[in-house]
Every structure is written in C-alpha cells, then in structure tokens.
C-alpha cells in the first residue's frame, strides 16, 4: 500500500505536460486514467495517471495564471518495474521536452542497487524513476 493517496502538480501548458507525462509514465506501467475539461463540471482542466484499473495517484492541473516556481526541495519519484523501464523513462523524458538532472543508471550514493533516472519536466519539476531491487535487466 502506498503512503500517499494522490499528488497533483500545477502546469503551465496542459497539452505539453500531458504529452510529456504520457510518454514518460508509459514505460513504468502507468496510464492516463481521466481527463477533466473546464465547462464539463470541473473548474480546472486536469489529467490523472495511475495503474490500469486503479485510482489515480498523480495528476497535472492547468494553472493559466502561472505556476509557482518549482524548488530544489521538491521532487517526485515514480516506482519503476525494471532497469529497462528506468532507461526508457529517461529517454522518453529527453525526447519530450524534459532535461537531464542527474543521468540514468546506478546511484550507489542512495543504496547498492538504486537504479534511477533524474530529469526536469517541461515546467522545471524534478522527477525521477527508481528501481531499488536487484533486476534481471
């Protein structure tokens, strides 16, 4: 069971961010679960992600008036099922408007089997995909 029920972040361009998160979350096994559009009973446009058949755990929400500047103290780490998924996440991020923020590979400073990729999303949020167990790939 996850400690956090769900997490939402503000984005400046929902289409751009949805394309980015669709690309980076797919290799990790997460899917787009819903989309809210203003005027359809919702006060803000948003997209929710999670595991297939489950509730959303992560959402992006459009803030047309601008978003607060993301800080070094905040980051989101997504659980990856394999090292290959971590590498695919990293490649998808760089190919869809993200920027490198620490590379992809083993990070022994966090543990002997800590395999992760660190990137910045299009709004500057620090995101990560991590696989902490020993993996066959």
- Over residues 104-117, the pLDDT tens digits come to 999 999 999 999 99
Q: Where are the beta strands (DSSP E) in the chain?
A: 7-11, 31-36, 46-50, 58-62, 75-79, 99-106, 115-120, 126-131
Confidence band of 134 (pLDDT split at 50, 70, 90): low
What domains are there in the chain, each with its CATH number?
7-64+75-131 (3.10.180.10)
Neighbours of 100 (CB within 10 A): 13
For 26-83, write each residue's pLDDT tens digit. 999 999 999 988 876 778 899 999 999 998 899 999 987 766 666 677 899 999 999 9
pLDDT for the residue 76 = 93
86 in Cβ contact with 131 (< 8 Å): yes
Provide the whole-model pTM: 0.90
Closest CA to 97 of 12, 31, 6, 9: 12
pLDDT of residue 71: 66
């Amino acid at each position: 069971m996850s400690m956090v029920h769900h997490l939402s972040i503000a984005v400046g361009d929902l289409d751009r961010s949805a394309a980015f998160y669709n690309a980076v979350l797919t290799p990790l096994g997460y899917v787009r679960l819903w989309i809210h559009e203003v005027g359809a009973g919702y006060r803000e446009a948003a997209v929710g992600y999670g595991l297939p058949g489950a509730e959303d755990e992560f959402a992006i929400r459009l803030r047309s008036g601008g978003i607060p500047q993301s800080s070094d103290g905040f980051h989101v780490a997504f659980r990856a099922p394999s090292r290959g998924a971590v590498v695919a996440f990293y490649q998808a991020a760089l190919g869809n408007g993200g920027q490198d923020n620490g590379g992809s590979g083993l990070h022994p400073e966090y543990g002997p089997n800590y395999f992760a990729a660190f990137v910045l999303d299009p709004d500057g949020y620090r995101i990560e995909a991590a696989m902490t167990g020993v993996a066959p790939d």
